[in-house]
Structure 1
Amino acid sequence: MRRFACVGALALAGCTVGPNFERPKPAAPAAYGTEPQDVTSRTYAGEVDTAWWKSFGDPELTALVDRLGKQNLDLQSAAERIGQARAQRTIAASLGLPHAGGRATYTHERESANGTASLVEPAPGAPLEFDLYQPQVQASWELDLFGKVRRAVEAASARTQAEIEARNGIALSAVAELAQDYLMLRQLQAQDAVLRDNLAAARRRVGLTRDRFASGVATTLDVAQAEAQATEIAQSLPSLRNQEAAMENAVAFLLAEPPRALADELGRPAAQPPVPPAVPVGLPGELMRRRPDIRQAEAELHAATADTGVAVANFFPSISLGGNFGTESLHTGTIFDWASRAFMLGPTVNIPFFQGGQLKGTLALRKSQQRAAAIAYQQAVLRGWHDVDNALTGYAEAQHERDNAAATVAAERRALAAAEDQYASGVATQLDVISAQGALFQAEDGVVRAQAQVEIRLVTLYKALGGGWSYAATTP
């Protein structure tokens, strides 16, 4: 029915055959799953913060993100791919426009007296050998009667949008990776501080134990145990320093900086940034407009639909208008005389009667690619909902783990105090004190790790929500 309607419209401006793209409307859940409310940082159905890294209240992190959009090499490569896609669109659009050019030829020729020249009686005195001058202006224009070019331009525009969304996805991954590396660095620095505090306490205990030994209260075993604990704690420092340097370099790499370029800037320890008391997560139905991977899948589906239209248009005749105008002369003196003019003008009609199954095969291929793109879009949407749901649960449970770790630290501090009192009164041994000190150290280290996990899980949640790529957004 569509094709017959198009044929009736040819007298006007042609038509566009093939399927028209319609934006998918997947049935989204009404809300995300209910998460525990007994946490200090709750989620709610508000508008997602597109500059979420500022919610940590860390000026250094904000400054690093500001530099990321300008310096990251992956973003620069993605920008080049966008430029290439736009150039492809320009090429596709040019096929629907008139083409014009000029040429000038000179040839020195000789006709054979026994060839085709013998079939025609030459003019009196006409030589068989001569010079021929032919300057011409040529023009052609293929009429886009069935929308083949328009569909090709539509597909190229959709692919350009897909590249833009791909860059947005890279921007989202880059800012999330930067934030996670930065938070991990602050975690390592906090672990370093805990370790040093415990090392100082262990060394003080060594001194006290030696004093007690000199007084005849402690034994050589007590001294050895205290010294062993201090040495064991000190052995962890090089590993932490190595990890800190690696995280500094990871941030530098994202900013296209050489190794150790940020050592002075990031090497100064800073507190682990807190998470905000409330985190807006939007609604599931809004996710398709935020996540770059879903937006990219939609653009790719649009391009595949337009490609199907191109394949349909190939079944219809194509009409080209062409011609040339110029002069033709045997002498340079008369090359621009009006009598030397020569021209050609007329249409060319190409009708695809038989192509050996190529057109049918191409159409079947394009339809299959369109269906595959639709499936990929559905998968992207479903993956997005799952990512958010998993991230919501992970964020809530990470806060529970942190609270439990904090409670463990409080209990271990009481245990250490009791062990020290009992050791002073002779009820407990030095090993009991060392064991309690080691347990406290592990608990304090666990709090630092748990706090970092809360922060990193929040970054994962924001990444799943698709917020945070606009800092490096590119307009179509």
Structure 2
Amino acid sequence: MKTFRPLFTTVIAVQVALLLGGCMVGPDFVKPDPKAPEAWRDHVKNESESRPVALALDPQWWTMFGDPILSGLISRAAAQNLDIQVAASRLQQSRWERRIVSAAGLPSVGANASAQRMGASENGLMSLTGVGSQPPAAALASGVGNGVAGISGADISAPLNLYQYGFDAIWELDIWGKIRRKVEAADALSTASDEIRHGVILSVIGETASNYVQLRTVQATLDDTIETLELTRRSLELTEHRRAAGAATSLETSEAAAQVQAVAARIPDLESREEKLINALSLLLAEEPGALENELKTAKPIPPVPSKVPVGLTSDLAKRRPDIREAEARLHAATADIGAAKADFYPSVTLSGSFGMQSLNFATLGTWAARQFAVGPTLTMPIFEGGRLKGMLHLRGAQQTEAALSYQKTVLTAWHEIDDALIDFDARQRQRDNLAAALEYSRAAYDAAVARYKAGASTFLDVLVLQQALLEVQTRWVTANGDVSLTAIRLYKALGGGWESVPSSGAATNESGTNVELLKANRG
């Protein structure tokens, strides 16, 4: 580096800064136009009960289920969830980081004051002058001491007091836009942090809705299993009566008793899943285990999907999905970093100045004669950096390429996720409808077998087989019914809607209840 401080260049440096203040090296960010299909593919293979339609996507899509309990849980999760609060805290951190970066473009002003008692070593540099080892009269007579000691006849090696105070300022002129590019990158990263928060909100909403639907599905399966258990007990009573009358064997009674126990064995697992799902919802709402027991323990119907499911327009996908918006912001930041790296190749100008008062006597410290000042520009130009600047520029270029590829992959992945969700949505409805028909036939066959067994026209084995088949089909139908609602939730998560309905103020709340005490304790 070569540094020049000619005082007369101060005005010239300021003029150059004014002329070039709007100059910014490096590429300007161009908002990408992602490739998107003209319309979502139609995967409906028959007259499904619910069909996707190209209507505007409702930001509060969960209201389509018509379940006030679900809507209430989602509202509470959006306001209380700890993951959302962590994401909001990280967003706030990114904004403070942006402020730190932008501060580099402003002048830095400081004040200083000192009072020192100083003394020079007689065996140090002063010994070369011969001053300090002679009495004042001898020093004066010898003509040694052209400074204070020589003039006043005082020994300059004697301790003295030095008082001073003043101000200093330094300002690096952002001629080539290096600082502005860094601020641009910091703004983009702050936007990326905001989109991460939006993604967390969307994930929490989707997870809350999914766990709720799974809970209602398990509860419906549990209710059906309990009803089936009652049927098996009635079958056991029937075989016992027939055995007492000599119309049934002990084998049939044992088979009936075994079926009762086999059905009863399903209940503990279902009850365990019910408790775990309630706990999962409690965790999403930042509540302790079992906090939602009273609210959710009573079984409710599985939330049904409406006949029309609005999926929005394909052109709105990049505007709505948080991960696409985040990838775009990171591409913006990577582009701005190239400009900052290019600016390092150019000379930099720093204006600095200081003004203060200095005196050996405290009484004269405030007089105008005690003033001292310095002002002038500093020009710094890179000459040899060992390839560091070129390496940094190539690195930033490679990072921009990576960011661009990541953006393309994010858009393509979103497209695939939506298409897969549309496929599943239609497939699960067709599966549910087929199982509904199978369930009717299974019930009819079971009722006929029971009637034939009572009439002595068939064995209990027929009843047992059809009873087990009925339970399996009924369980599968309930699961398929819940899967239809779950695939609708996954579809809306893939479409990226929902985070818009959550107020920023509510999502940013990160100090409530015991959290405040925890923060106070750790901050002292």
TM range (shorter): over 0.9
CA contact (8 A) 1:284 1:385 kept: no
Matched with 2:53 is 44
CA contact (8 A) 2:118 2:162 kept: yes
Q: Are residues 1:236 and 2:244 paired?
A: no
SS at match of 2:152: coil
SS at match of 2:397: helix
Provide the rounded CA distance (Å) in 2 between the counterparts of 1:311 and 1:126: 57
CA contact (8 A) 1:55 1:275 kept: yes
CA contact (8 A) 2:78 2:204 kept: no
Q: Are residues 1:195 and 2:225 paired?
A: yes
1:126 Cα deviation after fit = 4.4
SS at match of 1:40: coil
Matched with 1:409 is 439
Pairing of 1:32-71 with structure 2 (within 5 A): 32-36=40-44, 37-71=46-80
* Corresponding residue to 1:81 among 68, 86, 90: 90
Provide the rounded CA distance (Å) in 2 between the counterparts of 1:154 and 1:51: 33
Matched with 2:329 is 299
Provide the rounded CA distance (Å) in 1 between the counterparts of 2:300 and 2:419: 32
* Corresponding residue to 1:114 among 127, 130, 136: 127
CA contact (8 A) 2:59 2:499 kept: yes
Amino acid in the other structure paired with 2:179? V
* Corresponding residue to 1:469 among 499, 502, 505: 499
Q: Are residues 1:16 and 2:24 paired?
A: yes
Pairing of 1:365-404 with structure 2 (within 5 A): 365-404=395-434
Matched with 2:9 is none
Provide the rounded CA distance (Å) in 1 between the counterparts of 2:17 and 2:458: 100
Pairing of 1:19-30 with structure 2 (within 5 A): 19-30=27-38
* Corresponding residue to 1:95 among 85, 97, 104: 104
Amino acid in the other structure paired with 2:424? G
Provide the rounded CA distance (Å) in 2 between the counterparts of 1:137 and 1:8: 26
* Corresponding residue to 2:368 among 324, 333, 338: 338
Provide the rounded CA distance (Å) in 1 between the counterparts of 2:430 and 2:105: 63
Provide the rounded CA distance (Å) in 2 between the counterparts of 1:368 and 1:9: 31
Q: Deviations over 1:201-227 (max 9, x none)?
A: 111111122122222222222221211
- Cα gap change, 1:127 to 1:330, in 2 (>3 Å): farther
Pairing of 1:274-289 with structure 2 (within 5 A): 274-289=304-319
CA contact (8 A) 1:39 1:400 kept: yes
Q: Are residues 1:151 and 2:181 paired?
A: yes
* Corresponding residue to 2:196 among 147, 158, 166: 166
Q: Deviations over 1:294-339 (max 9, x none)?
A: 1100000001011111001111111111111010100110001011
CA contact (8 A) 1:14 1:144 kept: no
Provide the rounded CA distance (Å) in 2 between the counterparts of 1:119 and 1:400: 107
Matched with 2:389 is 359
Provide the rounded CA distance (Å) in 2 between the counterparts of 1:134 and 1:415: 105
Report the more deviating stretch, 234-243 or 101-110: 101-110
CA contact (8 A) 2:21 2:176 kept: no
SS at match of 2:19: coil
Amino acid in the other structure paired with 1:62? S
Amino acid in the other structure paired with 1:18? G
1:12 Cα deviation after fit = 5.3
CA contact (8 A) 2:20 2:176 kept: no
CA contact (8 A) 1:206 1:226 kept: yes
TM-score, normalization by structure 2: 0.87
Q: Deviations over 1:102-155 (max 9, x none)?
A: 011222223454247766343224441311111011111111111111001000
Amino acid in the other structure paired with 2:268? P
CA contact (8 A) 1:93 1:150 kept: yes
1:284 Cα deviation after fit = 2.3
Matched with 1:4 is none
Matched with 1:3 is none
Matched with 2:152 is 124
Provide the rounded CA distance (Å) in 1 between the counterparts of 2:427 and 2:345: 59
Q: Considering only aligned residues, what root-mean-square deviation do their CA atoms show, in Å?
A: 1.7
* Corresponding residue to 2:350 among 292, 295, 320: 320
Provide the rounded CA distance (Å) in 1 between the counterparts of 2:23 and 2:189: 23
Pairing of 1:452-463 with structure 2 (within 5 A): 452-463=482-493
Provide the rounded CA distance (Å) in 2 between the counterparts of 1:104 and 1:127: 27
Q: Deviations over 1:163-213 (max 9, x none)?
A: 010111111111111111111110110000000111111111111221222
Provide the rounded CA distance (Å) in 2 between the counterparts of 1:143 and 1:447: 71
TM-score, normalization by structure 1: 0.95
- Structure 2: gaps spanning 5 or more residues: 1-14, 132-143, 509-524
Q: Deviations over 1:339-362 (max 9, x none)?
A: 100011111111112211111100
